[in-house]
Copies of this chain bind each other. A is one copy, B any other.
């Protein structure tokens, strides 16, 4: 199913041209023997590096994700591609730093409810790439790459997904007038304050959505999509709306976790992941499906008890310290990804695009820079990937860079609430392997490494012109949404 209106039909052709140019080079015969694997990306929202049992959390119980790690590969140095939500998602779906697509901004940070901008049509998403290879595609969860109520071209159905079910943006972005200012994180919150709009395709089916049911319904929809596509390759992208605040858990999970409401919410996500993996096992799809679980950025520490934990890492969401961008990541494909393996090299959400492309027999677009690297070798044999450098942006500004074990901070700033960046000249230098908590500046001891990082950052910045930001333009008056509706949930 495609969205009814296609405001810019010409972009379909531009997109196809780019893909077809490189597709011509594809050794199709070599791929014919075995159908390409399904790709499932389970993407938590604001889950911190330290928030899962298999990453050391003492009181959040995540037996399904722990089992997923025991049966698959756990990454210790996996990065989200940005420090906050919108740019992180744009980068995951395009394999490109958000400055290339304009999906970031120093001040606005993320798309807002009144935003007109969206993921530009000129961007090629992983959904588009895989759909062109015959995959069925679904986005089930929180989109946050365009409020399509304001601008239909921002809808996921316009960006390669056959199916959409979920929220257009974060679960706190449409507050009712009654909502107290600064209320996210209050345990006594009223669900109606948040007024979250829930869509099926382009249809608003519920507003305010019952956020206590969102995780279950997200999983229900994902399960139904898998059930409906067991005989066709599929790409299932499940960007959970939690544990972003405001937090809500269903009656089944509420009050169960020792960690409190945050733990309830994470444990419900964990159970949902378990349902998906159990279904893949039961349908004999496990060996034919690569599942990746990760998070869009670090924990929202300023939400106090309702924010997560980065474990031993410094800072959280919004910052370019490790806690802001290093996240849990688990890859699973029994028989293909070695069971119980731990991948210790740097890997990033940028890499999912070229990795999935390789597995699907697609070729990444050659007409634009792709910042991710192919991890299929790492997934198959835990070999080291040939990464040159990774760049940490805060908004549209390059704050830090990593190469090998060393990370240079050119600018630092705490998470939300730290008003000004601090410039470092010479930059701070940390050895992230011996000092993962970023406590000891070793710039003086490693001048060559520091110089190499400065050069890499300069070269990166000189290599392109950032795209105009999509995060600035707004509707004068937010588009009138349909009146609050509370339709019964559709059958899964």
Contacts and interface: CB of A to CB of B under 8 A. Distances in A.
B435 A50 contact: no
A436 B59 contact: yes
Interface stretch (A3-11, A26-34, A303-311, A347-355): A303-311
Interface string A53-76: 111111101000000001000001
A312 B59 contact: no
B56 A312 contact: yes
A108 interface: no
Interface string A437-467: 1011000000000000000000000000000
A434 B311 contact: no
Contact of A436 (B53, B58, B440): B58
A56 B56 contact: yes
Q: What size tier do the contact residues of chain A reach?
A: 20 to 34
A65 to B, nearest CB: 13
Contact of A344 (B59, B431, B435): B59
Interface stretch (A128-136, A255-263, A471-479): A255-263
A59 B304 contact: no
B56 A309 contact: no
A304 B50 contact: no
A311 B56 contact: yes
A276 interface: no
A259 B434 contact: yes
Contact of A311 (B54, B70, B311, B344): B311
A421 to B, nearest CB: 25
A437 B58 CA distance: 10
A400 to B, nearest CB: 17
A342 interface: yes
Interface in A300-324: 304-305, 309-312
A486 interface: no
Contacts of A435: 305
A405 interface: yes
A268 interface: no
A258 B50 contact: no
Contacts of A122: none
Most B CB within 10 A of own CB, among A263, A304, A311: A311
A310 B56 CA distance: 11
Most B CB within 10 A of own CB, among A54, A57, A77, A405: A57
A381 interface: no
B56 A434 contact: no
Interface string A267-307: 00000000000000000000000000000000000001100
Contact of A76 (B55, B58, B304, B305): B58
A262 B439 CA distance: 15
A310 B262 CA distance: 22
A433 interface: yes
A258 B312 contact: no
Contacts of A434: 59, 258-260, 262-263, 305
A435 B58 CA distance: 10
B312 A437 contact: no
B433 A258 contact: yes
Nearest to A58: B76
A57 B77 CA distance: 11
Interface of A: 50, 53-59, 61, 70, 76-77, 258-260, 262-263, 304-305, 309-312, 342, 344, 405, 431, 433-437, 439-440
Given A50-B311, A58-B76, A258-B344, 20 more contacts: A50-B56, A50-B312, A55-B56, A56-B57, A56-B311, A57-B312, A57-B436, A59-B436, A61-B342, A70-B70, A258-B405, A258-B433, A258-B434, A304-B439, A304-B440, A305-B435, A305-B440, A309-B312, A309-B436, A311-B312
